Amino acid sequence: MPAFEVVGGNKLHGEIIPQGAKNEALQILAAVLLTPETVTIHHIPDIIDVNILINLLADMGVTVQRLSRHSCSFTAANVNTDLPFLRSL
């Protein structure tokens, strides 16, 4: 199984192409919380689990812009980490 190792001190950049699998999409969507910059993701599967995570990101303060049925832009510059559902984690 391929993996990414992130070592501090280096700016991340680049592109990856998700295969459209639900589990991979969930991980990639969660990664938008790692940067305040706008992240655009294409080939997002239109399924319940993925759409719930997109809604949770929006509830946390991530700006979500639907570009098409399978593409969104996310900006996590103003994430609210003081939400009741996050306090129990």
Per-residue pLDDT of the chain (89 residues; tens, 9 = 90+): 567 677 777 776 777 665 656 678 898 999 999 899 999 999 899 999 999 999 999 999 999 999 999 999 999 998 877 766 665 55
Q: Is 43 domain-assigned?
A: yes
Q: Is 26 domain-assigned?
A: no
CA dihedral 18, 20, 60, 55 (to 10 degrees): 160
Per-residue pLDDT, 40: 94
Cα radius of gyration (the chain): 13
Per-residue pLDDT, 58: 94
Locate 85 and state its tokens. 């559902």
* Total domain count, the chain: 1
Q: Is 22 domain-assigned?
A: no
Q: Is 59 domain-assigned?
A: yes
Per-residue pLDDT, 80: 77
Q: Is 70 domain-assigned?
A: yes
Per-residue pLDDT, 16: 67
DSSP-derived secondary structure letter, 20: S
Positive or negative, the CA dihedral 55, 59, 60, 63 is positive
Per-residue pLDDT, 71: 95
Q: Is 79 domain-assigned?
A: yes
In angstroms, the CA 34 to CA 5 distance is 14
